[in-house]
Structure 1
Amino acid sequence: MENLILSNIELYYSSSYNLKSQIITIDSDESSHILNVMRHRMNDEIYITNGTGKIFKSQIVQINKKNIDAKILNEFKFEERFPNITFCIPMLRNNERLEYALEKCTELGVTNFIIYKAKRSVPKKVNLVRVEKILLAAMKQSLLSWLPKIRYVGSMDELTQFDGEKIIFEQSSNNYFSRDKINSKMNYLFIFGPEGDFTADELDSLKSSVKYKLAENRLRTETAIIKVAALL
């Protein structure tokens, strides 16, 4: 059986494939990159992920004006690293810091995100379309095969309705967070505090949460997020 050495490939994305014909169709944005930037041509072999754990070794068999068709030659399956963990990230004043944290977490294998609005969050809109593009690019760049899922909720009350053991990261905790604190058979919500900290009401709604410390010194929100992803 052929082994796939991930460091030796360029990875593309398509969710449009026909299992019966074993043909993958790659849309205009991705096909333009394949043809005009990477200079691939007919019969070239390329690697494509469907974003749900599969990478296909494929051969370009048709070049159209707006897409490319590729024939599947081989299929490789990969397990999702942390299917039981969701990172719950507050809206930040600086969108670039939020996007950076999401990008780095994706590179480290995190695949489930919720962006939430805390009471002390600065009022602004989250451009989920832009964020999804950043996550897609990070997945491909890191040669991963699971496209992260992301959603937005408008309050802590909404956030606490999701199932899973809730973990918050508090400077006052005496227990440091580490990978061995996580049970692979349980679902978790990792809830990161906003820049202005939680309000008393929000802390009350999180009183049953498990609390862990990340460092002796205080960390920026985005630094804490990336550190937890790196510890997993």
Structure 2
Amino acid sequence: MPSPAARTPFPGLICRSWRSLSTLRAQSSDVAASQARGGLPRFHSPSLPSSKGSVVRVQGDEFWHMTRVLRLGVNDRVELFNGIGGLVEGCIQKVDRTGLDVMALEDLKKIAPQGIQWHVFAAFGTLKRGRADWLIEKCTELGASSVTPLLTERSPTITENRVDRLQRVILAAVKQCQRLHEMTLNPPMKFHSFLPVVAKSKLSFLAAAEATPLINTLSSSSVEPSGLLIVGPEGDFTQEEVKLMIKAGATAVGLGPSRLRVETAAITLLATLMLWSDAQKVKLQ
């Protein structure tokens, strides 16, 4: 089989359509899903061409994925995004051993975040066996703006190497769910440093046992530009921590009669609030 660079000796502006779904490998289910929706394969690039005709170099993992996994080559069309709202359609112009060049077929699009920006604060430092990965992955898919590991009396630490791994989980989930804005994983925050954040927020929900059901609370809640979701560690927050957060302005909400794991509570709370805020946006239109 000829190399990608050898397929077309004269790179040009007119690009081939993306090849059929049957040519993709099993590892590329995220890109396959994009094709099934009628879109181009999308890849992350920190730098994007600013205008039509500009060229950007793609290297590293994305280069490997494009050429080794999907077998893309010269004249194939792709989309590039930078994780902060930038999106551009381009065409592969050159492939060599270290990377490939993509030329923009249009001017750079800049898309602003939509709806309420939800910020998750969860004490998940003690979670094991991939449960923290699952929490971060699902928060990304559901559209959380950020996640901050919360350091509490019962979850006092989170290892640095785990944070590095979670960054990779976020990027993979961003690509899979076609987000244009990456979810931010903030540095761990100590509980007492978190209280001023709660005090400044007009919309803060604290998952707490035996509290008023979340659905009931939302019926009297107003829409704000951003909001906080707060979930405690295994063993829950201490009574003193709950008292301090409520005093700072958090609203305690119940998530049903069952005792939920940290990651289950976080996803339940986020999914409900994302659906609620989306419904509020429709009402305001």
TM (norm. structure 1) is 0.87
TM (norm. structure 2) is 0.72
Within 5 A, what are the aligned runs for 1:151-170?
151-162=186-197, 163-165=200-202, 166-170=204-208
Matched residue, 2:224:
185
The residue identity in structure 2 corresponding to 1:222 is E
Q: Please tell me whether the aligned partners of residues 164 and 186 of structure 1 are also in contact (alpha carbons under 8 angstroms).
A: no
Measured after TM superposition, the shift of residue 78 of structure 1 is 4.1
Secondary structure at 1:206 match in 2: helix
CA distance in 2, matches of 1:196, 1:71: 53
CA distance in 1, matches of 2:209, 2:156: 23
The residue identity in structure 2 corresponding to 1:211 is A
Where structure 1 has 5 or more consecutive residues not aligned to the other structure, the ranges are none
Measured after TM superposition, the shift of residue 6 of structure 1 is 8.1
Q: Please tell me whether the aligned partners of residues 48 and 80 of structure 2 are also in contact (alpha carbons under 8 angstroms).
A: no
Within 5 A, what are the aligned runs for 1:51-66?
51-66=83-98
Q: Please tell me whether the aligned partners of residues 55 and 76 of structure 1 are also in contact (alpha carbons under 8 angstroms).
A: yes
The residue identity in structure 2 corresponding to 1:216 is P
Matched residue, 1:29:
61
How many positions carry a matched residue from both structures? 229
The residue identity in structure 1 corresponding to 2:239 is A
Measured after TM superposition, the shift of residue 98 of structure 1 is 1.2
User: Percent identity, aligned pairs only?
Assistant: 22
Deviation per residue, 1:145-204 (Å, 9 max, x gap): 111111123421122232424320112112324766664434322110111111233123
Over 3 Å counting, the alpha-carbon distance change for 1:142 and 1:180 in structure 2 is: farther
* Structure with a larger share of its residues in strand: 1
Deviation per residue, 1:68-98 (Å, 9 max, x gap): 2211113555442455320011123315111
Indicate the RMSD between aligned Cα atoms, in angstroms.
2.5
* Structure with a larger share of its residues in helix: 2
The answer to whether residue 179 in structure 2 is matched with residue 149 in structure 1 is no
The answer to whether residue 49 in structure 2 is matched with residue 14 in structure 1 is no
Matched residue, 2:268:
227
Q: Please tell me whether the aligned partners of residues 158 and 188 of structure 2 are also in contact (alpha carbons under 8 angstroms).
A: no
The residue identity in structure 1 corresponding to 2:147 is F
Secondary structure at 2:166 match in 1: helix
Matched residue, 2:80:
48
CA distance in 1, matches of 2:171, 2:223: 25
Structure number with bigger Rg:
2
The answer to whether residue 111 in structure 2 is matched with residue 70 in structure 1 is no
